[in-house]
Amino acid sequence: MKSITFELTSARANSRVQTENLRIPFLRPNPPKLSRQIARLAEVERSGIFSNYGPVNSRLEERFSRALFGAEHRCVTVANATLGLMLAIKRAAGWTPRGRRYALMPSFTFAAGAHAALWCGLTPLLSDIDNETWLPSADAEAELIARYGDEIAVMVPNATFGNCLDLARYHAISVERGIPLVVDAAAALGSLNSEGQPFGVGCPHPLVFSMHATKAFATAEGGLIYCADRQIVADIRAMGNFGFGEPRAATMPGLNSKMSEVCALLGLAKLSDYETAARHRQAIFDYYRASLPEFVFQKLTGQRTAHQFVSVLVPESHSGRVDEVIEALRVRGVGAGRYFVPHLAEQPFFQQTCIAGALPVTQKIARRIVALPVSDMLTESDVDYVCRAFREACSPQPRVRAHSSRRPRARYENFAANSSFNGTGS
C-alpha cells in the first residue's frame, strides 16, 4: 500500500497525551490551549460580557454559518449538545404534543438523545440499525412508523460515529407523515456528505452537533445547532435564553443553554486548523481499514467522516467477549473502548422508560463492536502497532505479552498525563 503522509504540525507532534501509562491511549483530547488565548481572554474581561450570546459567540456562529454551511445566521451555539437536543426536540414537538408521545430514535446511540426526549415529556421509541452502515435501519423505522405513526412527535436519528444520514429520505418522511425531524449529529461536525459538502448543509430541519473535548472538533465543552430555516434557528436561540422574545419576557418554552465567551474563544481557535485535523483522522481510518482487511468496519456513506475513534467488529468467535479483547489490548499498551454498548434498550433506566421494536442487528453489532484509538497526533507507525496488538488480541489463543514497563520512547516523554476524558460527551 502506498504510504500515507499525515498532515501534522510540529506543535501537534509535541502535544500528545499519555493516559494510564499506555503506549497508545484510546482518547487524546486536543482542544485549543487557553494558555495561548491570553490576549483574547483579556479582551473578554475588558468587555465585561461573558455570556448571553456575546460578541465572541456571535463571531463563532457566523464563522460556522459561512465557513461550513455557506450562509448567514444559520447556526446557534449551546453550552452542550444535550441542551441542544432538548431545545430542538421541544421546538419540533411543541409545548403540548396533543397525543403525540413518542420520539423515534435508534437504540444504538448515546444516552443524550433519549434523556433529551424524556426531559421533553416524550417516550423514546427505539429502532434497529443497518447491518453495514450502523445508521438507523430504514425498514425498522418504517415498521415502527406504520405501527405508531400518529403518535410519533419527532424523529431523532443519530449520525452514528459521524456517518452521514440520508437526510432526503427523512425529509420525505417528515413531509408525508407530518413528523418533525431533529438530527442527532453529535459526532458529525466536520463530516462531508457524498457530494463533498458539509453534512447537513441546506437541511430545513435542525442538526445538533457536539464540541465536547473528546470529539473530533474538540473544545472544552459546547454544541452547535444548524438549520437552513432561519426561523427555527431564531426560535431555538430565544428558547435557549429562557424563552425571551421582545420585550424581555418569556414568549415560548425556555431554559438557559447559552455558551460562554470563553468556550466560544476555543471554538474560534479550533476552526482555524480543523480542516487539517479532519483530513488526518480520515487518513487514519483509511489506514486502519487497509491494514486490517479481514475485519469488518462501518460502511461509510459520505466522502469524509469526523472520526472520534475507529469502530470495528471482532470475529464471530469473539462475539460477547469484547471486554476480553479490550483487556488484551490494554496488556499490550493500547487503549480501546466500546460505543454504544450497552445500547439504550439494555440500560436499566431506559428499560423502564422506553419502548423498543425488534433489535436483532443492534444486538449482533453490540456483541462484537470495539473502538480503536484515533487522535490528531496518531501516526502511521502507531496504527501499525495497534493493528498488530488487535490481531493478537483477536487470535484463537492470544499470547499474553505485556507492553514494556520501562519509560516510553523519547518521542513520548513530553506527554502530559490526562485520563479525565472517558466518554463521548454530548
The pLDDT tens digits for 21-61 are: 789 999 999 999 999 999 999 999 999 999 999 999 999 99
CB atoms < 10 A from the CB of 75, how many?
23
Nearest Cα neighbor of 345 from 160, 184, 126 is 126
Helix (H) or strand (E) holding 123: strand 123-127
pLDDT band at 384 (very low <50, low <70, confident <90, very high): very high
pLDDT computed for residue 95 by the predictor: 82
**What is the distance between the alpha carbons of residues 89 and 208, in angstroms, rounded to a whole number?**
10
**What is the distance between the alpha carbons of residues 302 and 199, in angstroms, rounded to a whole number?**
8
Residue 297: beta bridge partners? Answer: 312
How many degrees, rounded to 5, is the angle at CA 317 between CA 314 and CA 318?
A: 45
Q: Which residue has the higher pLDDT, 120 or 412?
A: 120
Which stretches within 189-273 are classed as H helix? Answer: 230-239, 261-271
Count the residues in the chain: 426
pLDDT computed for residue 426 by the predictor: 62
- Are residues 163 and 229 both part of a single domain? yes
C-alpha cell at 25: 491511549
Strands 152-155 and 123-127: unpaired
In a domain, residue 227? The reply is yes
pLDDT band at 287 (very low <50, low <70, confident <90, very high): very high
In a domain, residue 253? The reply is yes
Residue with cell 487497509: 290
Amino acid (1-letter code) at residue 16? R
Last residue in a domain, options 214, 249, 271: 271
In the Cβ-directed half-sphere of 374, how many Cα atoms lie within 13 Å?
A: 30
DSSP type of residue 309: S
pLDDT band at 423 (very low <50, low <70, confident <90, very high): very low
Calculate helix-pair angle for 380-393, 274-291, nearest 10 degrees. Answer: 40
Tens-digit pLDDT profile for residues 305-334: 999 999 999 999 999 999 999 999 999 999
pLDDT of 5 > 60? The answer is: no
- Are residues 150 and 288 both part of a single domain? no
In a domain, residue 424? The reply is no
Which residues does 3 contact at the CB level (< 8 Å), separation at least 6? 380
In a domain, residue 87? The reply is yes
pTM to 2 decimal places: 0.88
Mean pLDDT of the 385-406 span: 74
93-102, 125-134, 269-278, 279-288: which has the minimum mean pLDDT? 93-102
pLDDT computed for residue 3 by the predictor: 39
Tens-digit pLDDT profile for residues 105-115: 999 999 999 99
In a domain, residue 361? The reply is yes
- Are residues 315 and 262 both part of a single domain? no
CB atoms < 10 A from the CB of 92, how many?
23
pLDDT band at 62 (very low <50, low <70, confident <90, very high): very high
Cα 228 off chain centre by: 21
In a domain, residue 102? The reply is yes
- Are residues 277 and 266 both part of a single domain? no
Mean pLDDT of the 134-163 span: 97
- Are residues 263 and 279 both part of a single domain? no
In a domain, residue 122? The reply is yes
Residue pair 89/182 in contact by the 8 Å Cβ criterion: yes
| CATH number of the domain within which 333 lies | 3.90.1150.10
Residue 232 burial by Cβ neighbours in a 10 Å radius (0-12, 13-18, 19+): buried
DSSP states of 18-44 as a string?
--TT-SB-S----PPPGGG-HHHHHHH
pLDDT computed for residue 421 by the predictor: 29
Amino acid (1-letter code) at residue 29? P
Residue pair 155/93 in contact by the 8 Å Cβ criterion: no
Helix (H) or strand (E) holding 77: strand 75-78
| Structural domain range at position 361 | 10-29+273-412
| CATH number of the domain within which 91 lies | 3.40.640.10
Name the average pLDDT for the chain: 89
169-183, 295-309, 388-402: which has the minimum mean pLDDT? 388-402
Q: Compute CA distances 420 → 2, 38, 214, 416, whole Å.
A: 37, 24, 10, 12
- Are residues 296 and 403 both part of a single domain? yes
Residue with cell 479481514: 294
pLDDT computed for residue 71 by the predictor: 87
- Are residues 337 and 260 both part of a single domain? no
**What is the distance between the alpha carbons of residues 376 and 181, in angstroms, rounded to a whole number?**
32
- Are residues 296 and 196 both part of a single domain? no
- Are residues 308 and 193 both part of a single domain? no
- Are residues 157 and 237 both part of a single domain? yes
pLDDT computed for residue 396 by the predictor: 82
pLDDT of 79 > 50? The answer is: yes
Last residue in a domain, options 252, 271, 290: 271
Last residue in a domain, options 271, 299, 322: 271
- Are residues 158 and 51 both part of a single domain? yes
pLDDT band at 397 (very low <50, low <70, confident <90, very high): low
pLDDT of 337 > 70? The answer is: yes
pLDDT of 412 > 90? The answer is: no
pLDDT band at 245 (very low <50, low <70, confident <90, very high): confident
pLDDT band at 138 (very low <50, low <70, confident <90, very high): very high
Strands 75-78 and 223-226: antiparallel
Q: Number of structural domains, the chain? A: 2
Q: What percent of the chain has a predicted confidence (pLDDT) above 90?
A: 83
pLDDT band at 99 (very low <50, low <70, confident <90, very high): confident
| 12-25 as b/e: b if 16+ CB within 10 A | beebbbbbeebbbb
- Are residues 302 and 347 both part of a single domain? yes
| 98-121 as b/e: b if 16+ CB within 10 A | eebbbbbbbbbbbbbbbbbbbebe
C-alpha cell at 340: 454504544
In a domain, residue 5? The reply is no
C-alpha cell at 337: 473502548
